[in-house]
C-alpha cells in the first residue's frame, strides 16, 4: 500500500499544479489576467496550497487561522508520527480495547473499513506493521529488506477485520497498528474545500502534497489546469494536463519513495497479500472522485492491484482512472472508460 508518510519525511508529490504561476501581478500594468489569491504552508510532512479569485474580496489572512486550526486537528487526530495523537493512542492500547475518539477519526476509520471490502482487501489501513519493517513508517528508514521471519510476523499482525467502529468508539479484538496515510491527505484536502465553501468561495483549487480538489473556474471561464507527473524518478516532467472542473484528484505512484540494495529496488508500495513491495509494471494511478479522500484511497488500492486487475476494477466500478505503465525504457498509458467519458464532458 502506498504510504505518503503522514507528518513524517515529505514525499515528493505526484502532481504538478500547472499554469497557475502566471497569476496577475498587480504592480505589472501589462498583465491583464484576473488576480488569484494564495494561501500556503506546511502540513502532514509536505505542503498545502489554496487558490481562489481575488474578486471574492476575501484575503488569505482572513481564513489562515481556520485553515491552521483544521489541519492541526487532522494531525492530532490521525498522525502516526505524533505519539499522543488519537490514532497513536489507539495503536498503543493493548487489545482487546475500546476507545472513544473524535467523530472525524471514527468516520475515516469506518470509511477505510468500507473501502477495504470494496477493493477486496487491496486497501488495508492495518498494514502499518509491514510498512514499518520495510522502513517507510515513522521508524528509521531501513537500508535492507527484512528477513522472512519478520515479514511473516508482520503479516500476522495485520487484518482490519479485528477493528470495528460504533458511533464514536473504535474497538479492536487483537493488537492492530492503523496507518491512515493513504487516505488522510485526501481527507485534509476535503477539509480545506469545506473551509472555502464556508466563506462563500465557490471557485477554488486546494491541494495537499499533490492531492487536489477544484471547483468552478480559475477566472473568466478559464479552467483550473492540473498536470499529471510522468513517473520518472530521475526528473520532473508532465505526462498529461487536465482541465479540472468540480472534482477531487489523487495519484499514487511507486517511483519516488524507495530504497535500493545491491541493485534491487524496493518501493514503498507494499502488497498486504504478499507482505512485500510490488514488482509489477504499473507505475502510477490517477483517480478522479468528488471526495479527495476516496480518490486517494482508490488510487492506492489500484496501484497495489497492478495493471490488469486495476483496469478491470476501474471498468467494473465505473471509476475515472488514468494509468501509467512501464514499457521497456519508457512508459505507456491507458485510461478507464469513465475517465474517457469525463474528458469528453
pLDDT in tens, 49-80: 999 999 999 999 999 999 999 999 999 999 98
Reported as a single tens digit per residue, the pLDDT across 158-199 is 999 999 999 999 999 999 999 998 999 999 999 999 999 999
Would residue 108 count as lying in a domain? yes
Would residue 143 count as lying in a domain? yes
Would residue 168 count as lying in a domain? yes
Q: Give the containing element (helix H, strand E) for 129.
A: helix 128-133
Question: Regarding predicted confidence, which is higher, 322 or 13?
Answer: 322
Would residue 87 count as lying in a domain? no
Would residue 344 count as lying in a domain? no
> First CA to last CA across the chain, in angstroms?
32
Q: What distance lies between CA 4 and its chain's CA centroid?
A: 7
Give a three-class secondary structure readout of 169-200: EEEECCCCCCCCHHHHHHHHHHHHHHHHHHCC
Would residue 163 count as lying in a domain? yes
Give the global pTM: 0.86
Would residue 322 count as lying in a domain? no
Whole-number percent of the chain with pLDDT over 90: 61
Q: Is the pLDDT of residue 18 over 90?
A: no
Q: Give the containing element (helix H, strand E) for 208.
A: strand 204-208
The predicted pLDDT at position 147 comes to: 85
Would residue 171 count as lying in a domain? yes
Provide the CATH number for the domain around residue 140: 1.10.3980.10
Q: What distance lies between CA 247 and its chain's CA centroid?
A: 15
Side-chain-side CA neighbours of 206 within 13 Å: the count stands at 25
Instruction: Specify the 3-state DSSP secondary structure of 62.
Output: helix
What total number of domains does the chain contain?
Answer: 1
What are residue 225's DSSP bridge partners? 243
For residue 159, give its domain range: 93-179
Amino acid at each position: 500500500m502506498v504510504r505518503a508518510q503522514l507528518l513524517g519525511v515529505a514525499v515528493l508529490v505526484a502532481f504538478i499544479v500547472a499554469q497557475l504561476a502566471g497569476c496577475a501581478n498587480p504592480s505589472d500594468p501589462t498583465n491583464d489576467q484576473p488576480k488569484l489569491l494564495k494561501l500556503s504552508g506546511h502540513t502532514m510532512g509536505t505542503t498545502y496550497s489554496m487558490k481562489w479569485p481575488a474578486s471574492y474580496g476575501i484575503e488569505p489572512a482572513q481564513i489562515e487561522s481556520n485553515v491552521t486550526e483544521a489541519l492541526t486537528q487532522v494531525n492530532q487526530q490521525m498522525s502516526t508520527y505524533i505519539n499522543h495523537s488519537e490514532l497513536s493512542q489507539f495503536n498503543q492500547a493493548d487489545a482487546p480495547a475500546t476507545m472513544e475518539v473524535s467523530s472525524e477519526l471514527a468516520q475515516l476509520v469506518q470509511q477505510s473499513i468500507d473501502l477495504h471490502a470494496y477493493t477486496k482487501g487491496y486497501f488495508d489501513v492495518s498494514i502499518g506493521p509491514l510498512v514499518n519493517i520495510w522502513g517507510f513508517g515513522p521508524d528509521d528508514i531501513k537500508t535492507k529488506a527484512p528477513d522472512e521471519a519478520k515479514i511473516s510476523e508482520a503479516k500476522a499482525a495485520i487484518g482490519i477485520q479485528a477493528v470495528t467502529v460504533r458511533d464514536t468508539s473504535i474497538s479492536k479484538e487483537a493488537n492492530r497498528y492503523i496507518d491512515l496515510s493513504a487516505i488522510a491527505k485526501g481527507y485534509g484536502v476535503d477539509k480545506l474545500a469545506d473551509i472555502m465553501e464556508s466563506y462563500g468561495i465557490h471557485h477554488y483549487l486546494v491541494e495537499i502534497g499533490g492531492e487536489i480538489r477544484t471547483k468552478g473556474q480559475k477566472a473568466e471561464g478559464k479552467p483550473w489546469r492540473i498536470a499529471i507527473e510522468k513517473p520518472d524518478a530521475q526528473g520532473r516532467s508532465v505526462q498529461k494536463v487536465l482541465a479540472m472542473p468540480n472534482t477531487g484528484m489523487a495519484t499514487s505512484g511507486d517511483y519516488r519513495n524507495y530504497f535500493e540494495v545491491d541493485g534491487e529496488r524496493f518501493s514503498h508500495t507494499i502488497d498486504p497479500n504478499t507482505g512485500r513491495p510490488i514488482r509489477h509494471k504499473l507505475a502510477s494511478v490517477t483517480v478522479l472522485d468528488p471526495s479527495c479522500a476516496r480518490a486517494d484511497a482508490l488510487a492506492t488500492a489500484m496501484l497495489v492491484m497492478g495493471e490488469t486487475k486495476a483496469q478491470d476494477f476501474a471498468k467494473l466500478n465505473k471509476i475515472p482512472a488514468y494509468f501509467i505503465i512501464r514499457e521497456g525504457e519508457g512508459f505507456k498509458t491507458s485510461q478507464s472508460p469513465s475517465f474517457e467519458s469525463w474528458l469528453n464532458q
